[in-house]
Amino acid sequence: MTCRVELTASAFDDLRELIDFIAEDSPPAAQRLLTAIETRITALGEFPERGSHPRELLELGIQEYRQVLEPPVRIIYRRHDDRVIVYLIADSRRDMQRLLARRLLG
């Protein structure tokens, strides 16, 4: 079954900010990364269970979120019935513990 893939408003903002930041130094690199991220996200519709569970969330006993990597980016998502919702798109070098707590745990 193919799932519909959706980005939250905050994930869309994450992506835009990341690509804009990279484009300041190298527009071609930003375009390559954007294409790779879009491909990775689109593939989640076919294979939503492919990602691993984020270590930071597993340590808190939270297992419903998954992640896929498009180095150096982590894409955090969750499957909801026939949808895959992307919650976070972030550079993996950021403080993920704090970012995940703020974004996903409120």
Task: List, for residues 15-63, the tens digit of each pLDDT value.
Answer: 999 999 999 999 999 999 999 999 999 999 999 999 999 998 898 888 9
Give Cα separations from 81 to 33, 58, 71, 78 (angstroms).
29, 21, 28, 10
CATH of the domain spanning 4-104, picked from 3.30.565.10, 3.30.2310.20, 3.40.228.10, 3.20.80.10: 3.30.2310.20
Sheet of 73-80: strand order equals 4-7, 83-91, 73-80, 65-70
- The answer to whether 36 and 71 have CB atoms below 8 angstroms apart is no
| Structure confidence at residue 102 (pLDDT) | 80
In this prediction the pTM is 0.90
**Two structure tokens written together for 46:** 């076919």
